[in-house]
């Protein structure tokens, strides 16, 4: 009798219930004890398999995740698995995406837990998974769900010059995070469904927020901007929040490199996005820690008490540098910088358990501005937010960075 294949075993594993995890980290738990991860595999496979085996049932949350709802973390991780599928041609990664989305999208294309009138850009980030499925299956429900998100963007409240509000509950505010949430999906949709005029709007979103949040002294971008200048966190003269949050700048940079995949090569404003990417990348590189080649939670205050080397910012900027250099948007020196930073992540932010599963440490669980309880954007606020292990906001970019470096044929030393 023929032994069951590894692929069949994984497929069966997807059908098991989610393991309960109570230690604050998304550890292998019951989902991964029966299999191991080889240290001879490429980094991308070690990372992807660690995630997939820890998430049986094709779910993208664990017992301590912020939300089981349709959310941007899910969108980020599914996009990383989409790129892994394209890179390896391993069907299991595509199957994970489809099984996950099918838990949220019914046969009529309705999205479970989604609310249009929240006008929340975070909810648009899963749209790329819908387009992945729409383009590779015959089921029309995925296109219908993607249309719902496109309809949201058509009605999204805007600043006076045309920038998307981050959410209905944050009026007149643009956050760097929102560029990743909305623009890559928006650009892909525009390319696929022949909306050439949308590209002007997409470029404008990047230009507007860079214009308002860029600090002329450092070249870094502040986390958020309040056009009304009414928020307690807003500078009364500029409307900017008071600090440079590492992950916010990371969101912005990876949004640019991903949008450029869809923006037409001959678009007259393509050079503006590339110029912004070069400018922000040069600024962030200057604030990289010299010893570890990583980035701090608050980018420009590495020596200040309480600050720490933060995983999601480090992984996002590594990914942006690697992809930017690969695509020719950034100088090839950034590929070297990406390798150095990935090695720093490996040395200082990754631990490997007895089964070979990859744990990514020190990801800030979440940070925002305003709301209730009120988040004032202070240094003390950012360093005081909870840290998680294997948070998808770090794990997804870790996988994306590994893929880009391997595409470039870059060998990353292990420690």
Q: Which residues are catalytic?
A: 177
SS3 category, 108:
coil
DSSP 347-384: HHTEEE-TT--EEE--EE----SBTTTTB---HHHHHH
- Say how far apart CA 372 and CA 381 lie, in whole Å: 14
- Say how far apart CA 316 and CA 300 lie, in whole Å: 17
First-last CA distance in the chain: 42
- Say how far apart CA 213 and CA 233 lie, in whole Å: 14
Nearest to 294 by CA among 371, 219, 363, 391: 363
Answer yes or no: are the C-beta atoms of 412 and 405 closer than 8 Å. Answer: yes
Can you tell me which residue has the tokens 């006008």? 119
- Please give the distance of CA 157 from its chain centroid, rounded to a whole number: 23
Six-digit token string for 298: 């608050």
CA distances for 91 relative to 31, 373, 398, angstroms: 20, 44, 21
Answer yes or no: are the C-beta atoms of 315 and 390 closer than 8 Å. Answer: no
Longest distance between any two alpha carbons in the chain, whole Å:
75
Can you tell me which residue has the tokens 């990801």? 363
Beta bridge pairs of residue 274: none
Residues 148-156: contacts with CB within 8 Å, 24+ apart?
A: 148/109, 148/111, 148/114, 148/116, 149/123, 149/124, 149/185, 150/186, 150/189, 151/116, 152/116, 152/119, 152/123, 152/124, 153/124, 153/182, 153/186, 155/116, 155/119, 156/119, 156/121, 156/182
Answer yes or no: are the C-beta atoms of 47 and 398 closer than 8 Å. Answer: yes
Answer yes or no: are the C-beta atoms of 287 and 212 closer than 8 Å. Answer: no
- Say how far apart CA 413 and CA 371 lie, in whole Å: 43
């Amino acid at each position: 009798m023929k032994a069951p294949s590894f692929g069949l075993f994984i497929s069966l594993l997807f059908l098991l219930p989610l393991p309960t995890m109570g230690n604050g980290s998304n550890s292998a738990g019951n989902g991964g004890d029966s299999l191991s991860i080889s240290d001879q595999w490429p980094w991308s496979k070690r990372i992807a398999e660690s995630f997939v085996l820890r998430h049986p049932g094709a779910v993208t949350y664990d017992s301590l995740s912020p939300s089981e709802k349709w959310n941007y973390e899910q969108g980020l991780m599914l996009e990383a698995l989409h790129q892994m599928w394209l890179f390896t041609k391993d069907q299991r990664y595509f199957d994970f995406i489809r099984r996950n989305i099918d838990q949220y999208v019914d046969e009529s294309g309705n999205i479970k837990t989604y609310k249009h009138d929240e006008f929340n850009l975070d909810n648009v980030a899963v749209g790329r998974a819908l387009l992945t499925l729409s383009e590779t299956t015959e089921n029309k429900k995925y296109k219908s769900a993607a249309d719902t998100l496109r309809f949201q963007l058509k009605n999204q409240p805007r600043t006076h010059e045309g920038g998307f509000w981050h959410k209905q509950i944050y009026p007149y505010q643009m956050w760097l995070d929102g560029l990743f949430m909305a623009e890559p999906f928006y650009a892909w949709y525009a390319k696929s469904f022949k909306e050439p005029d949308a590209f002007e709007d997409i470029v404008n979103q990047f230009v507007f927020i860079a214009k308002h949040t860029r600090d002329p002294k450092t070249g870094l971008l502040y986390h958020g901007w309040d056009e009304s200048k009414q928020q307690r966190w807003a500078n009364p003269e500029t409307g900017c929040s008071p600090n440079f949050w590492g992950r916010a700048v990371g969101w912005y940079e990876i949004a640019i490199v991903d949008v450029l995949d869809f923006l037409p090569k001959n678009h007259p404003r393509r050079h503006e996005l590339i110029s912004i990417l070069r400018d922000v990348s040069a600024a962030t590189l200057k604030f990289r820690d010299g010893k570890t080649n990583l980035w701090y939670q608050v980018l420009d205050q590495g020596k200040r008490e309480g600050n720490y080397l933060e995983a999601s910012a480090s992984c996002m900027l590594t990914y942006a540098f690697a992809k930017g250099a690969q695509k020719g948007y950034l100088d090839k020196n950034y590929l070297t910088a990406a390798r150095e930073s990935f090695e720093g992540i490996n040395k200082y932010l990754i631990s490997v358990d007895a089964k070979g599963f990859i744990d990514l440490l020190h990801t800030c669980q979440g940070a925002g501005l305003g709301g209730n309880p009120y988040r004032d954007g202070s240094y003390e606020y950012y360093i005081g937010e909870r840290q998680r292990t294997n948070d998808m906001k770090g794990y997804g970019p870790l996988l994306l960075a590994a893929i880009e470096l391997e595409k470039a044929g870059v060998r990353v030393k292990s420690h």
